Structure 1
Amino acid sequence: MDHTDADNVKPTEECHKVHNADESDILVGKLFSSRDQAWYFYKEFVREYGFSACRGITRLDMEGNVKTQEFCCSKEGFRVSKVNIVDRQRAHTPITRTGCKARIVVTATNTNNQWVISMSYQKHNHALCTPTMAPFMRSNRAVSKADIDEATTLKEVGVGTSQVMNYLTAADRGLS
């Protein structure tokens, strides 16, 4: 799965103005037993604050072991500019990257194979979404293992894809 793509949520009236809550003091120094645990922590953090995250730059030491990992806002950076084609058939996709600098950096410690948040910057240059819109952002979307197993079973017995999806959405809303 490519985590570098920007989230698909467009700012609406559901989004509010930029909140530049500086959480640096709270996050720096927090310890994790693995890099994945730090990633899941940051995903929960970004869901609470109304933005989407992606994995950023990974730095290796001389032996090829991961030493630092960045987790950043999915609106980090800018889209690669392409040559403007005058007779373009398709419409341009909306600009989703704003050059946001919000990120954390986790660093491997030399003791006990732990990871620590060594740097945190939480100022955004774009609108953040409300908690009601947060589940629809790219890094916050997830399908449970139970739903995957159920969909697989339904497909194996010959139920069509649209019927499986209708069943799962009805089950999530308590309509089944």
Structure 2
Amino acid sequence: MLVGGCSDGGAAVAPAESSGIELPPRPREVRVDGVDPCSLLTEEQRTGLGLDRPPVFDLGPSLLYPGADIPACLFQGYEPRAVSVGLSIVTIAGIELFTSGELAATVRPAPTHGFPAVVAVPTRFTSYCTVIVDVAPGQLLDVQFADGGREPPIPQPQLCQGAERTADAVMATLLASR
């Protein structure tokens, strides 16, 4: 797993002295308090992403975001490839944690639907990739796209593409509902 921080309302989120990552301001706040993460991918979107199993909701502590139970949803697919997506709704941390330069990950900007976002590519583990989307001060969406365990493993760049596609779909659903 990676890690998450707090945002400053709408200005660029990462100070230049941290990791050098500059992100655009949020076009608006989209608070995610009380949002069910399993509702953020439609059946059509799940099919398009190859996620053919019913979503599974979870609420529990997180090592990455300590201090509160984090609502999450697990989506899995086995055809045409084995993958899983973990989608967490984080209301206690902002994107700064990912732009601080303190993660064991390579982080690059990847705005989605005009919102600041980063792709965090773990440097020690190659079986997943994460996209973090800044939606409101101190709130983010954490989209982790992982290999499902078949041989040969899915290359990490493909996992990152899957994470970006999934984050894009999640934001489309979230914005349509707000």
TM-score class, shorter-chain normalisation, is under 0.3
Instruction: Judging by fraction of residues, say which structure has more helix.
Output: 1
Instruction: Judging by fraction of residues, say which structure has more strand.
Output: 2
Q: Relative CO higher for 1 or 2, CA cutoff 8 Å, sep ≥ 6?
A: 1
Q: Could you tell me the TM-score, scaled by structure 2's length?
A: 0.27
Is the radius of gyration larger for structure 1 or structure 2? 1
